[in-house]
Amino acid sequence: MEKATFGAGCFWGVEAAFRRIDGVHDVAVGYAGGISRNPTYENVCGGQTGHAEVVDVDFEPDRAGYRRLLEVFWACHDPTQLNRQGWDTGSQYRSVIFFHSPEQEAVARAAMESLQASGNVQGHIVTEITPATDFWRAEEYHQRYLEKQRRG
């Protein structure tokens, strides 16, 4: 089992996108990349903690390779938008890849360069690629949020 951590705007839709991948064991939504310990949704949304809304993905590399996860990451948001996705604005919605190994970093950087060179994005990719930091699991009502809304 390996771990991958991505920020691509509001974590609810990003979580749903990764849950659909064969070989993904679990996805949790939370916060990473900030300065405070045990941040809350309200703290993060206030923009004072420096955290991004992220998904923490546990995956089986033989079934769902890191490259496949990156394809989903690029497809589920606009990596050319700085601190914004759709109506959501602020650094908590930034495009970011938190790598967990030198191999993940190399694959992420190569994938970003390839996507930029492909002409399939309009503008310059602003995605941060940075070492993984502490992951703070979001409050339980945020986990599987879209699934809960469909059931309710």
Question: Which domains can be identified in the chain, with CATH numbers?
Answer: 2-151 (3.30.1060.10)
% of the chain surpassing 90 pLDDT: 92
Q: What is the pTM of this model?
A: 0.95
- pLDDT for residue 27 is more than 70: yes
Q: Is the dihedral of CA 51, 23, 72, 130 positive or negative?
A: positive
Supply the pLDDT for residue 1. Answer: 95
Contacts of 100 (CB under 8 A, 6+ apart): 2, 3, 4, 5, 132
Average pLDDT of the chain?
95
- In the structure encoding, which two tokens stand for residue 114, read together? 């390839």
- CA–CA separation, 113 and 127 (whole Å): 11
**Residues annotated catalytic, as ranges:** 10
What pLDDT score does 111 carry?
98
For 58-86, the pLDDT digits (tens) are: 999 999 999 999 999 999 999 999 999 98
**Calpha distance 124→136 (Å, rounded):** 30
